[in-house]
Structure 1
């Protein structure tokens, strides 16, 4: 904006005008005072004319020879520069000039009388001449007094006029500078206190302060818009943070509830009730596929409100639907989506856990069936055959039939005894549990159960980590070691049995059962015995390799090489 009326320029002009006016008045006063400087000389010279006029009378009477000299002196006094300047002064009154010229003319007559030494005529005229000179002095004195009075009047008038001009400049400065600056300071203080609707500033002045007021008003308006927008953004961010915090709180609560306890209908109802209260929902409903007894609806349905829903799924598998009618404020769809994901994971984990439990139960039943088939079933089948042979021999009248029957009964008793032993071993196997998550303690538990069946010392060395096996795999490993130790007790005729679980020189996890007995004659298992086959089956379950061999120093060694990771 272009400033057309500058306040500073105008004040400078006013001050310059005051200075110029003061200079003019001062110069005029000095001029008048300079002219008054010769007034005293004029009065003195004029006063000496009277004295010299009377003195000539004395000269004419007593010293006639000095009359010419006195007349010369008188002429010099009458025509002195001080008196001659009266005619040159422009401001001298005409009356004064005329009185001076009259005195000069009248002295011409008086000088003639004196030169003629006409004392009587001179004496007669000297009185009127002196009166005329007195009139000139009086007029001159009045002129001097008038000049002094003029100086005083001019000085007083000048002072009053300067005071008036200074007062106007002060008034103008206060109106155009001080008041706008005071308003700007007050508006700045209000803006500092965040009162953007400050006092009204005078923006109509086409000067620097008017421009400043317009710029300040525009700046305050822009700051008000910026501050209002910033405050609105802060409020929006605060609301979003509160909403996010509420959503995180809901998700944390739901996650805690779903992870701490087993999922059931009461738990789902509790979670839905918490979500409904927190998100201000009118009604919420969960529909679970293939589990209609877990379907839950909370709240009363509103006809005017539309339903919103979110699929409960894991990947591409749909597990159910979460539906709700929103109140005010509306819930965040991302929060409801995350809640649906949490419910989906919980339901999927529950279903997977149930399926895993079913699989474990089926696997355990399969193991029991296999163990029964590989032990008791084979013994019972053998006993059935032996019973058929016994019946057949009892019906024969051969003299050797009785001996054969006794042999069959003896085999029958031996098979029955073996079957009973195998049944006890199976019961021990099925009752075998891992009470501690510690491989060495589990091995000691198995070995302690076998020490009462033999007097052979059994030594244990365990250096493998307990985390190598899960509980099901640990049962297989313990059963392999138990079977190997039982075989050593029954057939090795050993003095010492060693059980070692360590990492071998090749860095492989290894289980060893070795003795210093007679060794194993053949790897072919005798009829009616299935221990080696069962050990092979258990190693396959562990993805391990089984090696049974005779030791060079005597005895048998059963070696199980475990994989790095057991699945």
Structure 2
């Protein structure tokens, strides 16, 4: 009950909807009941009408001297219809004329039944009168049914008028209690939304809309009060935002200029001072290489990287954001100068690493090869002094020639390695470009590339350089020596976190090359595999051709990274 009292509009809507629903339900149930009753009346009328035809059929059989069993069957059917619930059950006890007509038909049927069995002549004489009694009963039954239909029509009209009246009354109440207050509220909200701070709802009440109107008016009063104070706040915030944007733009530009490889620190300090004076026009700001006495209001920020000072001299004290700005500018210069020193240090380290790499390459490959050739030269001199046979001397000369050729190839390969850089950003684009160049210049041999999706996007620089040179050396050998028509370069990642590069061709294979050292650069390719912590395998394929398989770990060692 308290809830209904607190929400009268909602209660009114609920009661009105329940009333309309109840009227609709009563109308529907009443119509259903009358339809059921009228359907029984129609069946009773049909049955009573069929009794007339049944009477004449009995008379016809009597005139034709039909067998007694046929006549008895029709009489039984007549009696069943007359006494059936569909006919006798529909005769109302409160309708005297219909009850009397039905009783007359029942009594006459008993007489006509006896006459049809015992004295057919009497049945034939009385049949017309009997049918008139049946007609009277049918007429009474039809009249009674029509009266019920008329009563139903009148009652339906009454219920419809009541429902219409209730709907009109409900619509009027809804319009006055809901629609009109809601329209006023909407108009007021629209006026407030358009900036009319004087807009107020002009009605009062104790229902929901009245409370809503009071709340809206209080809200409009508060908005009007707050709006005035917000204008000044917005202006202050706008000025602060503009200043912050200018500061951010200045810091971003300064950071970009200091991020170059070799920024001009002196010129950038001068430019930064000019920008700071524009941002803080009421203060005197300068860079000084050494500390000196400042006024009590002075503010000093030290740049540790070059022992310089950013000093602000002003009559009034600095605000927090101005101090933060000066500190940030000093930090940017400090980081840039420190980065320049670190960059020079890294360059020196890179130069030392490069020299170590050249020395290691020369020692592990060319120096050992030259030592071997030196031993062969000493051996040749000793054999000549001993006057060895020509065949032995020629074999040593051949070994020296092959060794010199191999050393030359190694020297050329080392020079290429020291000067090499990937033409494309990354290993895969460089491999594709190299294969495209080979296919374009060697139409008789086509190189095909297959790269699995799980191949890593990036490797260490050393891995990319050495892997690229192994692939380039292998496809060069295929074109120059294998006499192949097709070759496949396959790059995939094994489950053991290992990378595998395979180069297979359909040429003549290695033959005896694998048993001879220093041939076709195979030893150089093996050394490159070792440099990246892997190994390389050479084999003749069963179906013909040669295969080169390079396997190396994905995670590079510290030595490989250097």
TM-score band, normalised by the shorter chain?
0.3 to 0.5
TM-score (normalizing by structure 1): 0.45
TM-score (normalizing by structure 2): 0.46
* Larger Cα-atom Rg: 1
